[in-house]
Structure 1
Amino acid sequence: MRKVGAFLGGLVLLLALGLLVFIFLHSPQYKGEIEINGLSEETTAYFDEHGVPHIYASNASDAYRALGYLHAQDRLFQLEMMRRVGTGTLAEFLGPDVVEIDQFFRTLGIPEHAQTSTEFWNSQADSPWKNATEAYIAGVNEFIQNGTLPIEFLLLGEKPREFTINDIHGIVGYMSFTFGMALKTDPLITKMSRELGQEYLEALSIETLPEHHFIPNFYPDSISNGSLSSLLEKLPVPLLEGSNGWVVSGSKTKSGKVIFANDTHIGFSSPSVWYEAHLEYPGFSFYGNHLAGVPFGLVGHSRHHSVGLTMFENDDQDFFEIKLNPTNSNEYQFGDEFLPFSVRKDVISVKGQDPVEIEIKETIHGPIVNSVVPEIASLTDNPVSSWWVYTMEPTRALEAIYKINHAQDLEDLTAAASLIHAPGLNIMYGDSLGNIAWWAAGKLPIRSEKVHSKIFADGSDPESIPQGWYPFSLNPKSINPPSGFVASANNQPDTLQNGVLFPGYYFPGERWKRIADAINSKDDWTIQEMKAIQLEVVNTDHAQIAKIMLSQIPDFDFEGKERVKSLLENWDGNHELSSSIPTIYYKWLYHVLRLAMEDELGKEAFESYLGSFVMIRSNLPFIRNFDHPWWDKVNTPEKENASQIFSESFKITLQELEAQFGDNINSWDWEKAVILEHPHPLGSQKPLDKIFNVKTDPVPANDESVNKLAFKLNGEGIYTVTSGPAMRILLDFMDVDRSLSVLPTGQSGNRFSKHYRDQASLYTKGKYRYQLMDKNEIVESAKDALILTPR
């Protein structure tokens, strides 16, 4: 037995040593020396205590080549997933389960547009942004060819092909798609319009209401330099969903310098979306947040300027219902004539199976999407075409982002912003000279007055097609306003300079109002005090909704439940984890909406409504209007009213919560109902979820607080937080070298890196760490350097 024990002990030791060797070989290299092809001179990278590379190079080409290598070292599998989604080649890598995703994006035209953008890119003369991008691509490919691939490739039995400029354009296309809301919204609105009628629509906030909060414009005379849902759930990469950004002038800060804040709201994933990197070479110093595969920081700062993003939420996609020629189904009506469909054939390579051939029909409006959008297929038998701003012209996003990173003044930023045709972005800006600014960037189509941008248009009417673009100079903006700050939170901008209020999928502005009210409350802000705004989990609209519903319930329904009534009556909208009020409120709201709407919409459409911006924007006006037709149950002879729905849903809520958490109301803590897990693409398969997913402590989940930690309403009463701030940035130009940030999980996507999840606890606890730019502090934090030498 002793010999057996000794043998087993030795075997365990060998296995442990083998595992350690495997982890060592598959971990990113953060110190030592690596030879890299194409470098002109030795380049140094210091990794700080959170794994952020600080790259010091003698020229731009070496800096971006090093960045490409290090980005791939930490995030190659994420880069692989992003480019395969954007190029419609996911099934080639993952197999038949994701063929429908490839078919969806190919039908929508993203891979085709990537090729068009690549052809445009190749036709352009050499430029600093082209040279930098090609150096970055070479660095990525250097790692693919000579680095140790992350374990995901081993588990899948795959090797990555070389990275290309077309892959970057595919990634940009996917990003643009995720910023759009039309596909998730317009079929539902059209269904309501056709099947229920105008009276039902008027009870909702389909368009921005006067009571909602608008982003104010300020135009200076001149610039001065002082179930589509079920398909999307299969995506192995996150969706971009919203954001907050604000910039405060020195007149309202203690330091007398501009303070900048940004937190982009993106679907949670492991790794998280943003990869941080700090580049230094002669004439350039920039700390950026990068998307996988994109060489320039979409968000970031130099010592002179800082740039952030939020989603504009402008409506840039329309749908056209097509009328077929009664005598020839290969033709469709357009005006007084019949035009032939154009047909595009495509082949999807599928791992382990024969290729799948698809046929995509197109009209003058765009591709027919019935076959890939179930909500449209169930709504009409007629073909429906998608017209999308993004596919109208090649993207110049790389040029724009490069110029934003290298901007020297407001004019440079304006010129760079004008290059962005889609997606619509709010660009937030602040600089060391005291300037603050916001631009709504994106090409805005001129639509006919007869077109409702969220309801399918008549494809046979030539006047229904957008007739051109408003010039960028008319786009909403605010530059050095008298208020002393600019802010955006995905809410409606005020009118274009020509007086047009541009339609979109804007949020009601509760987040914007909380931010604006806080900034206006004092004139001596510090970034330490700004933390409280960024981390706030209060939404007063929900507190108001709770009080309205309570006011309509007869007193006898509260017998024995006075404690619940008291809690809800005195709620200020805070979502603290120790509070039981959100636990009660959200289940109650779900049942109110279910009893009111599911009978008219059906289960699938109701689920779509719960995931739409329309619900968020409509909750308060919907609840306080006791006269709209939604309250009546269509399948009963009597006519129900709001009071009955509130009472019935309240009783159901309390019964279910007692069954779920027990009789003690004080024990229904919000933290017991909230789950946060950052999913990895392979984490959907057990037991790989235990290896790759990052599960954290609960966070104060909420709907439309500044610190938005979003979830979907449901009847189970357990809420998985699916998105939130993908980073939190705070910067005071008094001390740029010690700005603050935090990521939801960690800097590295390599499972064996010590930086895979080392920020998860900081994030859930509302803590920050420094974005270092001072070389002495960086060297001290890193201890050792990684030297990249020419091969």
Structure 2
Amino acid sequence: MALMFRWLIRSAVFLVTLSVVVLLLVYWFAARSLPDYDDTVEVRGVTAPVEVVRDNANVPHIFGETDADVFFGLGFAHAQDRLWQLITLRRTAQGRLSEVFGTATVTTDKLMRRYDIYRLAVASADKLDPETKSALEAYSAGINARLDQINTEALGRGAPEMWLFNAPMAPWRPADSLAITKLMGLQMSGHLEAEVLRARVSLELSDQDRLRDILPEAPGSGVAALPEYAALFPEVTTRHAAAAPMDSHPLSPFKRQAFAGASNAWAAAPTRSAAGGTLLANDPHLGFTAPAIWYLARLELETGGVIGGTIPGMPVVLTGRSADLGWGLTTAYVDDQDVYIEELNPDNTEEYRTPDGFKKFRKRSSIINIADADPITVTLRWTDNGPVLPGSHYNLGSITPPGHVASVASTLFTEEDPSLAAAMKVMRAKSVQQAINAATDYVAPAQNLTLVDRDTIAMKTIGAMPRRDANHQSEGRMPSPGWIAANRWDGKLPYTANPEFIAPAGGILGNTNNKTVDRPFPNHVSFVWGDTQRVQRWQRLMQNREVHTRDSFIEAQLDTVSPTARALLPLIGAELWFTGEAAPDGTPERQRQRALDLLAGWSGEMNEHLPEPLIYAAWIRALQDRLIRDELGPLAEEFTHVQPLFIERAFRDVQGAAEWCDVRQSAPVETCHDMARLALDDALLWIKETWGTQLESLRWGDAHQATHDHPVLGEVPLLRYFVNIRQSTSGGDNTLQRGLTRGTGKDPFYNVHGAGYRGVYDFADPDSSVFVTSTGQSGHFLSRHYDDMAQLWRRGEYIPMSLDAELARAAAVGVTRLEPAQ
């Protein structure tokens, strides 16, 4: 017995020792890829030594003799910190994810091949101006120099993920950067889904007047009535069709419309600034990942220093400042996509109808190699309007008649796309007017460019706006027959037609993705806008002060008051506040009274430590579902986020919208206040099952966790605790500190989309400007810079944004010298 016990002890010691050794070996191999920031590297591709000075936040300050050398240094820095991100972004754009991830990404690859953006990027690269081509070639050489160093010095393949996946990386080339620009354009485009959804809802609703309720116009002048979708395509008779599943892989660029892109930007002229200098704040919103998409960098160009947010793969500061100019971006929601229904030739399905008769599709076969599976061949087809897409994509099949296919037109689909070149010219501009002129040739994705120089503020919509015929059957709001000439695009509108606001008399301008202009079709810019709510709070905060400061702009960026909650709660609870009779503890009536008592004293602040935001969010979500479920059936699942204008129209009975409150399938006639009471009970039941019965102890932040998840390793057991960054956060769908909720699943209020970058620039004292990202500079989860900004971001703190070289050197954590190879 004693002998057996001794052997058990020895076996346990052996197994523990072996486990420790294995873990140490794994750590050693993974840590090999951590970059040495204090190093001298001989490289090919620079004309003189390049210095990459890392400040204490690991922001690289890059100094070189020429602009090409500086871009080389940026490429090297991007590859040091974000190599895996570079690989996956490029593979996504190429439609080659399945070579690494197997069958899980086949759907994404098929779609990317059909969109064909990589071929378009290759064609565009050959037509760039010499200056941009030189910059892209130098940037590519910088990435490739880091790859050479990794291979030569056996630096752990450059990233821990490279040990887990067989993902060999070919040398970077200029077209790769252009492809990533187009990839970002796909992520920020939501008009395709908006058109399909409008068509599907049109088919489901027996009363077409109700379409304007559930899909309302942004406030402003109305538009002419549109035809029913069934009138355009009588062959489509689908009713209550179940939604086809979306490609939900984290690497897929195809997101729901709610996640297509958003942002905030506002500026103040010297007359509205306490210190007498212009002010600019910008926080672009994209889906959260670990690491964040944004990477901070400072470039010392021949035209002067620039600092701000870059995206790995693109050699440009997309939002930031120089000594003379500050610039920021918000999604413009330009209607730059149209869906077309193409009629096939019944005698030859290789042809489709055009205004001039039947015409053959342009076709090409494309082979997708799949890890651990046989390759597949995809036949790609294009019409004059654009690529033909499968019926499963955004449920196109549900609105496509038999004998037809769907195609999509987009401003992205061009072989002459100087968008990146235009962005680089904006980065070098010295004044507002120079920057506006520099963006003339910008194509996509359409953005509102907010600008400040020392004296002037401005906002200009940049990006191509399609020229549509005034007789377009659906005005680009629903899929239309592709063979009718009036429905087709006729080039693009001139740059001068893009909205612009220069030096407004009030001294304040901004954008929260709200409607910017009210023009009649076809010069309308868009019918679909990203915000009708945040802008109300922004207007109030801006006008509450005669003059602003850097701190007041920061306060606005971090504001968590929901104007939607303030507007809707008195409306939906009008007949519920303080009207119920006393009820015994533990009954639904008593729980409802407690919830209403809490909400009655709430300011509408979506603070992570309060219970009221969770009660409100659950109530309003349940209410919308009750209002639309019987009319839309399974299609109600498509409305994953609350539509505030719809709720308001229904409760105010705008043009008969209260009809939504009556359940058609029941005998009684329900009122909107009946629905509000029932929805509150639904919400409280969900809260009880999920969080318990003690309403006062609820925390919004427990439900509203920011989910910076690794897109590949985020679901791997044990490893996910090292690679995912989860934080309790304030804010919500309609607050200026926007934390857009997931909207679906068992955790519908997870914060999945928001400001991955925040910057505030004060030109009265430029070096007091500040910025922060939502994770950290490194993409290596063993690096202390993987998440060192995450808590700063969560608490609403920032780091300095200085162009003073000596300050950067004084706080340097390392200096990498890139020496020309002998």
TM superposition score normalised by structure 2: 0.88
Counterparts of 1:53 and 1:388 in 2: how far apart (Å)?
36
1:390 aligns with one of 397, 412, 434: 412
Query: What is the match of residue 210 of structure 1?
Result: 220
Counterparts of 2:17 and 2:691 in 1: how far apart (Å)?
49
Alignment check: 8 A CA contact 2:218 2:532 kept? no
Query: What is the match of residue 222 of structure 1?
Result: none
2:612 aligns with one of 581, 596, 615: 581
Alignment check: 8 A CA contact 1:321 1:457 kept? yes
Encode CA deviations 1:219-260: one digit per residue, 9 max, x unaligned: xxxxxxxx6773144426796621000111111112100111
Structure 2 SS opposite 1:731: strand
Structure 1 SS opposite 2:551: helix
Query: What is the match of residue 110 of structure 1?
Result: 117
Counterparts of 1:766 and 1:461 in 2: how far apart (Å)?
53
2:397 aligns with one of 373, 377, 388: 377
Query: What is the match of residue 133 of structure 2?
Result: 130
Query: What is the match of residue 535 of structure 1?
Result: 558
Alignment check: 8 A CA contact 2:475 2:521 kept? no
CA RMSD of aligned residues (A): 2.7
Structure 1, gaps ≥5 residues long? 213-226
Structure 2 SS opposite 1:70: helix
Alignment check: 8 A CA contact 2:125 2:133 kept? no
Query: What is the match of residue 325 of structure 2?
Result: 305
**Equivalent AA in structure 2 for residue 527 of structure 1:** R
1:421 aligns with one of 413, 421, 443: 443
Alignment check: 8 A CA contact 1:314 1:502 kept? yes
Counterparts of 1:17 and 1:365 in 2: how far apart (Å)?
57
Counterparts of 2:393 and 2:319 in 1: how far apart (Å)?
32
Query: What is the match of residue 235 of structure 1?
Result: 251
Query: What is the match of residue 457 of structure 2?
Result: 436
Alignment check: 8 A CA contact 2:193 2:394 kept? no
Which stretch of structure 1 is more off in the superposition, 107-116 or 87-96? 107-116
Number of positions where the alignment pairs a residue of Structure 1 with one of Structure 2: 769
Structure 2 SS opposite 1:503: coil
Counterparts of 2:428 and 2:338 in 1: how far apart (Å)?
35
Query: What is the match of residue 3 of structure 2?
Result: none
Structure 2 SS opposite 1:752: coil
Which stretch of structure 1 is more off in the superposition, 675-684 or 748-757? 675-684
- CA change 1:459–1:274 in 2 (3 A) is same
Which stretch of structure 1 is more off in the superposition, 563-572 or 94-103? 563-572
Query: What is the match of residue 625 of structure 2?
Result: 594
Alignment check: 8 A CA contact 2:133 2:174 kept? no
Which stretch of structure 1 is more off in the superposition, 304-313 or 101-110? 101-110
Residue 157 (structure 1) aligned with residue 166 (structure 2): yes
**Equivalent AA in structure 2 for residue 658 of structure 1:** K
2:32 aligns with one of 14, 21, 25: 25
Query: What is the match of residue 273 of structure 1?
Result: 293
Alignment check: 8 A CA contact 2:706 2:750 kept? yes
1:367 aligns with one of 369, 387, 395: 387
Encode CA deviations 1:251-310: one digit per residue, 9 max, x unaligned: 111210011100001100011011111112444211131112001111121111111100
Residue 173 (structure 1) aligned with residue 182 (structure 2): yes
Identity of aligned residues (%): 26
**Equivalent AA in structure 1 for residue 145 of structure 2:** E
Encode CA deviations 1:740-766: one digit per residue, 9 max, x unaligned: 111111011122222000011111111
Query: What is the match of residue 59 of structure 1?
Result: 66
Query: What is the match of residue 223 of structure 1?
Result: none
Residue 516 (structure 1) aligned with residue 539 (structure 2): yes
**Equivalent AA in structure 2 for residue 231 of structure 1:** D
Counterparts of 2:521 and 2:687 in 1: how far apart (Å)?
53
Counterparts of 2:105 and 2:478 in 1: how far apart (Å)?
30
Query: What is the match of residue 494 of structure 1?
Result: 517
- CA change 1:193–1:687 in 2 (3 A) is same
- CA change 1:617–1:407 in 2 (3 A) is farther
Query: What is the match of residue 217 of structure 1?
Result: none
Alignment check: 8 A CA contact 2:468 2:487 kept? yes
1:406 aligns with one of 414, 418, 428: 428
- CA change 1:570–1:783 in 2 (3 A) is closer
Cα deviation for residue 21 of structure 1 reads: 4.2
Cα deviation for residue 403 of structure 1 reads: 0.3
Cα deviation for residue 16 of structure 1 reads: 7.0
Encode CA deviations 1:119-151: one digit per residue, 9 max, x unaligned: 433xx5x22x22111101001011122223111
**Equivalent AA in structure 2 for residue 199 of structure 1:** D
Encode CA deviations 1:42-95: one digit per residue, 9 max, x unaligned: 222211111111112122122111111111010010011111111211112222
Query: What is the match of residue 196 of structure 2?
Result: 187
Counterparts of 2:720 and 2:53 in 1: how far apart (Å)?
31
Encode CA deviations 1:599-641: one digit per residue, 9 max, x unaligned: 33233x3222225xx8355443344337434333343355443
**Equivalent AA in structure 2 for residue 153 of structure 1:** M
Counterparts of 1:465 and 1:588 in 2: how far apart (Å)?
44
- CA change 1:186–1:326 in 2 (3 A) is same
Counterparts of 1:115 and 1:320 in 2: how far apart (Å)?
26
1:200 aligns with one of 198, 210, 231: 210
Structure 2, gaps ≥5 residues long? 1-5, 223-242, 583-588
- CA change 1:374–1:488 in 2 (3 A) is closer
Counterparts of 2:662 and 2:250 in 1: how far apart (Å)?
36
- CA change 1:133–1:245 in 2 (3 A) is same
Counterparts of 1:369 and 1:118 in 2: how far apart (Å)?
26
Alignment check: 8 A CA contact 1:552 1:646 kept? no
Counterparts of 2:407 and 2:644 in 1: how far apart (Å)?
28
TM superposition score normalised by structure 1: 0.91
**Equivalent AA in structure 1 for residue 742 of structure 2:** K
- CA change 1:691–1:717 in 2 (3 A) is closer
Alignment check: 8 A CA contact 1:245 1:263 kept? yes
Alignment check: 8 A CA contact 1:587 1:717 kept? no
Counterparts of 1:617 and 1:120 in 2: how far apart (Å)?
46
Counterparts of 2:453 and 2:744 in 1: how far apart (Å)?
44
Query: What is the match of residue 743 of structure 1?
Result: 773
Counterparts of 2:193 and 2:644 in 1: how far apart (Å)?
14
